[in-house]
């Protein structure tokens, strides 16, 4: 499980990177550029064949994928089982995934029931 600090570090790296979107562009017969759109600034390059090309496509897509994944992690961490005033558990939103003291222990207990 990622800690809040690890997620914050990933978010900081994404925010410091050249703004996206990024795309791949064939530079020449042997190299593939990863460029920002619309500026066409070259971010990096890799081989245009084999694993290098697959890595290049991954890098280009990661610029938009990482912020989306971070947002989804945050959304899911806010969605937790919470106890209502009658002591019944239900799905609900908490300010943060650890909003209630011991929520992880309560969830584990519920899984074992």
Question: What are the domain boundaries of the chain?
Answer: 4-77, 79-112
Amino acid 106: pLDDT: 64
Distance CA 26, CA 79 (A): 43
Q: Give yes or no for a contact between 52 and 32, defined as CB atoms under 8 angstroms apart.
A: yes
Beta bridge partners of residue 42, listed in sequence order = 35
Three-state DSSP at 56 gives helix
Range list of β-strands (E), the chain: 22-26, 31-36, 42-47, 79-83, 89-93
CB 25 within 8 A of CB 3: no
Q: Which of the pair, 108 or 44, is modelled with greater confidence? A: 44
Q: Return d(Cα 80, Cα 96) in angstroms, integer.
A: 9
Question: For the chain, what is the mean pLDDT?
Answer: 82
Q: What is the pLDDT of residues 55-110, one digit of tens each?
A: 999 999 999 999 999 999 888 877 665 655 666 656 565 544 445 556 666 666 66
Question: What's the whole-model pTM score?
Answer: 0.68
Alpha carbons 81 and 1: distance in angstroms, whole number: 18
């Amino acid at each position: 499980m990622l800690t809040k600090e690890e997620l914050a570090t990933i978010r900081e790296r994404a925010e410091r990177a050249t703004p996206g979107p990024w795309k791949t562009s064939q530079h020449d017969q042997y190299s593939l550029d990863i460029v920002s759109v619309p500026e066409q600034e070259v971010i990096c390059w890799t081989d245009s064949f084999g694993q290098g090309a697959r890595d290049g496509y991954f890098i280009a897509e990661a610029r938009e994928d990482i912020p989306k994944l971070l947002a989804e992690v945050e959304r899911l961490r806010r969605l937790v089982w919470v106890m209502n005033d009658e002591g019944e558990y239900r799905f609900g939103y908490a300010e943060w995934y650890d909003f209630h003291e011991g929520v992880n222990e309560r969830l584990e207990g519920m899984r074992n029931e």
